[in-house]
Amino acid sequence: MTPREPVGKGLSIAKAIGVSLLIVVLLAGILVSVHSLIQWISFNLVMHSKISGLGGWVRSATWSQDGREVAVGLGGYSLEDKRGAVILLGGDGRVHWRFNTSSHVVHLLWPAEPNFIIAVTKSGDVYAFKPSTGKVIWNTSTHGYVFDAALDPRGSMLAVATGLPSPGVYIYNMSTGKLVWSAHRFMEAYDVDWNSNGSLIAACYTFNIPTTHGEIDIYTREGELVQRVNGSSEFWKANFSPDDKYIAIAYGFPYHQLAIYRFNGSVDGRIGVSYLGGSIWNIYWTRGRLMLSIGRPGNVFVITKPSNLKERLELHALRGELVAAVPELDTGLVALSSEWFEHYVESHGSLYIYKLDGKLLWSTDNLDGGGYTLDWSPDGKFLLVGTKRGTAYVFNAGKFGEAGLMDKTSILIGTVVFIVVIGVLYRLYPGLFKLYYRG
């Protein structure tokens, strides 16, 4: 007797394919949905407060010494939009006061003594505010395009580096706003940095016409020139180590490299040099290590040693262009932020929290605009992130590990949900999974 052929064999194969595709789509949908839900939950877990609609690009920020308030400096929504403002926010996100400025606020400083909020604008205006009321204690102007500002560690002087039309370095009395001394140059001043006890200050100068030329001048706090270092390159930064034994010098065009020199009251002998693949924005020293924020095209945060620049750990923004990075040394964390879709209307941002050993602790792609401003509270418990679209977030740093663990378990949770859904479907519709029927 001839055995019967399977009934509806072609139909069963088509059904098997259809059911398989259904299962794959169902699995993908559940995994994506669960992952998105858990990311939303973890984002809200770490978010302490959110302040939207501040009215401009958040370009700078500084916390009070007790961590209860934070001042943010705004610019317009683009480089052409010249509006600016200083806003004092409470820890709960409430606006305490606002002061409008005529240009972008690029530096905010809040020393313990005198207890002033110092704001420096791109066009060279310098303000000192009373934190409790927002009243202007004093204001002055360098009449030049500001590149950098730095507080004297002793708390008595403010140094401002300016470009055209009045290039040079200006030193102001913190209490009165009066000019203490200035160093006028034909070259633009890109950077100023005090040594650990405020006895010396390094200034980087650059001149690009007709050829590139740079100088680093070392001054005493009284304004006496101690040393001048010349070079055929832009000098972007000169940063003293905490023990004043080294000075790190960041070169701009055409070299784009970092060099470490011995320092014994003056620059004395290069001990290392490295090309790091981009413009060096910031230099941080801690516990014998050197940390660097690298902009385009490198887009990386580098942790290295002054004695061996080749031995380094690189932390990356996994999406978009790195726009800000800052470490919190007491808790051993580093915050990085990036921007993707770079126009104002389509500006989106990501935030990455790394440990100093390179482990990614937590990340999110949910910032409302590129996170151009990052600032840790003095106790390291909170992180402020200010975006290009006028939103400020305050994150609870103690929750980063918990939120990261939630994100890592999202695939496992999604898989469990998928298995449960398949089990329910099988109980309700067993015929859906019976792929062959025989007569």
CA 94 to CA 381: how far, in whole Å? Answer: 19
Round the average pLDDT of the chain to a whole number and report it.
87
- Out of 8-22, 153-167, 210-224, 326-340, pick the least confident: 8-22
- pLDDT, tens digit, 9 for 90 and up, residues 235-269: 999 999 999 999 999 988 777 889 999 999 889 88
| Residue 428 pLDDT | 77
Residue 273 in contact with residue 309, Cβ under 8 Å? Answer: yes
Does residue 5 surpass a pLDDT of 60? no
Name the nearest CA neighbour of 266 among 303, 220, 308, 335.
220
| Residue 208 pLDDT | 75
| Rg of the chain, C-alpha, whole Å | 28
Residue 262 in contact with residue 271, Cβ under 8 Å? Answer: yes
Read off the pLDDT band of 41 (50, 70, 90). Answer: confident
Q: Which pair of tokens denotes residue 254?
A: 């055409």
Read off the pLDDT band of 438 (50, 70, 90). Answer: very low
339 three-state secondary structure = strand
Sheet arrangement for strand 360-367: 321-328, 333-340, 348-355, 360-367
- pLDDT, tens digit, 9 for 90 and up, residues 309-320: 989 999 999 899
Q: Which residues contact 47 (CB under 8 A, 6 or more apart)?
A: 393, 394, 395, 396
CA 114 to CA 130: how far, in whole Å? Answer: 10
- Helix 400-408 vs helix 410-428: crossing angle, to nearest 10: 40
Does residue 2 surpass a pLDDT of 60? no
Element (H, E) at 281: strand 278-286
- pLDDT, tens digit, 9 for 90 and up, residues 370-401: 999 999 999 999 999 999 999 999 999 999 98
375 forms beta bridges with 384
Does residue 207 surpass a pLDDT of 90? no
- Out of 190-194, 198-202, 423-427, pick the least confident: 423-427
Name the nearest CA neighbour of 258 among 230, 228, 289, 283.
283
Does residue 436 surpass a pLDDT of 70? no
Work out the average pLDDT over 403-408: 78
Name the CATH superfamily for 142-312: YVTN repeat-like/Quinoprotein amine dehydrogenase (2.130.10.10)
Does residue 12 surpass a pLDDT of 90? no
CA 90 to CA 353: how far, in whole Å? Answer: 24
Burial 249-268 (b: 16+ CB within 10 A, else e): bbbbeebbbbbbbebeeebe
Q: Which pair of tokens denotes residue 197?
A: 């006890």
CA atoms within 13 A on the CB side of 41: 15
Q: Which residues contact 130 (CB under 8 A, 6 or more apart)?
A: 116, 137
CA 244 to CA 241: how far, in whole Å? Answer: 5
Domain positions in the chain: 142-312
Read off the pLDDT band of 432 (50, 70, 90). Answer: low
